[in-house]
Amino acid sequence: MKKNIYLNVLMILIFLASGCTTDGKEVIEPSHEALKLTYPADVAVFGDNILVADCAYAADETPLPYKEGYLAVIDRTTHKLKHILKTTALNPQWITVSGNKAYVVSSGAMTFDMETYLATAASDGAIDVLDLKDVSKWAASLPLPASADKTKGAFGRLAITKDGKTGYMGSGITNGIFEIDLAQMAIVHGADDPLWILQDTEGANGMSSIKIFNNKAYIAAFNNDAVCVADAVSDHLKEADCQVIGVEPNILEGPIDIALDYNEHDLIVGMSVANALYFVKYDRDHASFETIQIGKAGAGVNAVVKNGKYLYAVNSMGGSITRRYLPTKETIPSWAVLPASSNPVQLAMDSEKQLIYVSLAASGNVAMVDMESGEVTGYLEE
């Protein structure tokens, strides 16, 4: 059995700042006028706005290290702060834009038992909805209760079906998947009744993340070194193809995020512990997966995003972004280098302005990276 180092990795990715090397590139440090965020977890482009989810993590707070989180709404052209919207639960971690709505998932607080080495949900989560017609207030909110025994919760990013009616979320502490009826803003499968694509290992946490492409659900099961693919619009993900994609039988490699390859069929999986990108051939006819190539990335891959012919990987512990040109497979592991100890976690593409916005959790900032050169051109400012 693979050694269960999941919790150590999770805590490093979420809570610790990380250093980086410059690889000869000049790194522009934030100015004193930079937007005063606390711990920005996610960023998104939404109409004429940039959205930043700030989970307000504060290590010195007790008993829970979270202050009130919020969504910052920033003008996309002037970079001036327009609105601060407090979320209805602690720890806003994720933003998903679908049509004219932006969904902000607050995961809820987590605690970690140093004796059992298990993480549990310490508070409930929520989904808050922003409508493009009025970004000054929430259009709707849905509480997300943790399970009665607190072993299920810590809600993940919302993945939404093409018709916008159904959403699924993974979790930071379990393999269970949660289902939401977005049309009615109602829980279909919550923390007390999750969808089990893969079971948790007895006596250990799981961790799951989910994305939807072309109405197929792609699930990364971190602690199982596995990926699953299911139909996202029928039978609650029950008919899923699952397989281990790890290549080291005795070492946890940690799949954390998934993108589709250039052919819109095979998978590119960010492996957080292996510090790599795994290219996985998916045979739908035989429900099988084969890891056919391993590409080097930086330390602590946390997110993978495809934009046109390019794939970008955020390396949280390495303080960098890896870029791969998919047609030729040319990869630059440290294509963009971010300030030391800034802990980048997520990115958003702005093709119109040729910018990439990167949330820097530990330094409380959002960097702007030139989409062509990879140079940091500045930071969001009030």
φ, ψ for residue 236, nearest 5 deg: 55, 45
pLDDT in tens, 222-257: 999 999 999 887 778 878 899 999 998 889 999 999
pLDDT in tens, 300-328: 999 999 999 999 999 999 999 999 999 99
- pLDDT-derived band of residue 381, with 50, 70 and 90 as boundaries? low
Give pLDDT tens digits for 177-211: 999 999 999 999 999 999 999 988 887 899 999 99
Which domains does the chain carry? 6-379 (2.130.10.10)
Predicted confidence at residue 24, as pLDDT, reads 38
CA dist list (Å): 54 to 49, 66, 164, 239, 360: 16, 11, 25, 36, 10
Q: What are phi and psi of 363, to 5 degrees?
A: -95, 0
